[in-house]
Structure 1
């Protein structure tokens, strides 16, 4: 399959992630709540910004990886390609395939982005990345909120799942390349997976990073979902109780 398809999907995935991780509204600092939670969970908006930068960086490096063989032939570039940044990361570049793992990851990111953007639109000015109330707050129970009480966190979990399966499995840039480690063997990977890989985040390193990343995201979601439920119960009383009985799940119907 043409590498241009993977390049297009990597760039599209980075743009989708950027949309999902950009706050739709500023946080009114004087109306924040749940500010007593652990600091590592409270800095979720900052982590989202770092997360965006890393995803854009990955898209840039993968794109450069594919175009690298073409660049030295351009007349305005030095004859030696040693100045190119991806050579230091992947001295023997080989085509990175479009694996089933990458395709699954792309679909998860696309779905997660759709859910989060729909939540942004459904809540309108009520949606802020830091937990806060609005002068005209109301209990929203339609769209995805009719299936789970906190669908935006569902979207976040899908983003982390999707990015991990796209960029921490065989065939991904950081798994096949990294810090001068050769990326040989990337073209015969079959379905991909977390095993193997000679790059910076190959094998056990990929599993460890994904585990910590996903666990942190889940902890943020659980902490905030519980705080939001308590706040909504205080504000809307019987209306919230009826909603909680009708929609008992936080993130995934029948699971949690």
Structure 2
């Protein structure tokens, strides 16, 4: 198979990854009213918006980065897809993104996370909000992914985010590494091939998930406490059946 044609195999991988991270980062419902929200955790009050009260400029930068993070992934998707499609024309001269085992694993991971997240949206319906809240007519959902772990949306978000970062930013074959001109040849060796690619995969996955867990672990605990207060014995019975918060058999 000619190299430009072979590069086409990467298109469904980056499209699936872009879909997954979009699903993960886009609220399925409007934010709850202030009177329905639960008080924010310390990590959310001080590590995220706290900069605004101490150093207003940093606070504004943080908000701008948060709002544009999804756009960053889409910029890389458009760069990659443009390079791959442009390579199908005879006049094309330039480097190409390509498929590697790491990029295949990253895309699969992101897609799995997006599908888990999407399933959570469907099962919770209007009850799913990005802010912790007790809504009118709130009910305890124990079916679908919630029959496996108690907080599957967090598990899906971690998979999706780690997969997208590795796919677009941290693996050989990506437009950033191969074609942007921003990465030197010495740095490229850090990303592979061989064992280097596996160690980089593990390092990026560990970094993204560790950062996510800083916020998600206390949030999951807070949500358990909130649901236990709201539903009492119904929640206790469910928590005995579904023991794990994020990963079956692990946590």
* Counterpart position of 2:125: 124
> Could you say which residue in structure 2 is the equivalent of 1:58?
76
The whole-number CA distance in structure 2 between the counterparts of 1:119 and 1:46 is: 27
Greater relative contact order: 1 or 2 (C-alpha under 8 angstroms, separation 6 or more)? Answer: 2
Q: Does 1:171 align with 2:173?
A: yes
SS at match of 1:193: helix
| Cα displacement (A) at 1:148 | 0.3
- Please report the TM-score for the alignment, with normalisation by the length of structure 1: 0.76
Show the counterpart of 1:143. 144
- Report which stretch shifted further, 113-122 or 159-168: 159-168
Superposition TM-score, scaled by structure 2 size: 0.77
Distance in 2 between residues matched to 1:100 and 1:192, nearest whole Å: 13
Residue matched to 1:99 = 100
- CA offsets, 1:155-214, max 9 Å, x none? 01111232233231222222335454456989x94687156xxxxxxx6xx877654432
The residue aligned with 2:209 is 214
Provide the residue aligned with 1:32 in structure 2.
37
How many Å separate the matches in 1 of 2:157 and 2:65?
A: 12
Does structure 1 retain, via aligned residues, the 8 Å contact 2:127–2:138?
yes
Q: Pairwise CA RMSD of aligned residues?
A: 3.4
Q: Corresponding residue for 1:11? A: 15
Per the alignment, residue 134 of structure 1 pairs with 135
- Out of 42-51 and 130-139, give the one that drifted further: 42-51
Distance 1:193 1:236, change over 3 A: same
| SS, match of residue 197 in structure 2 | coil
- Is the 8 Å Cα contact of residues 13 and 109 (structure 1) preserved in structure 2? yes
5+ residue gaps in structure 2?
A: 51-61
Cα pair distance change 1:222/1:181, threshold 3 Å:
closer
Number of residues of Structure 1 aligned to a counterpart in Structure 2: 229
Is 2:24 aligned against 1:20? Answer: yes
Cα shift at 1:224: 1.2
Deviates more, 1:50-59 or 1:117-126: 50-59
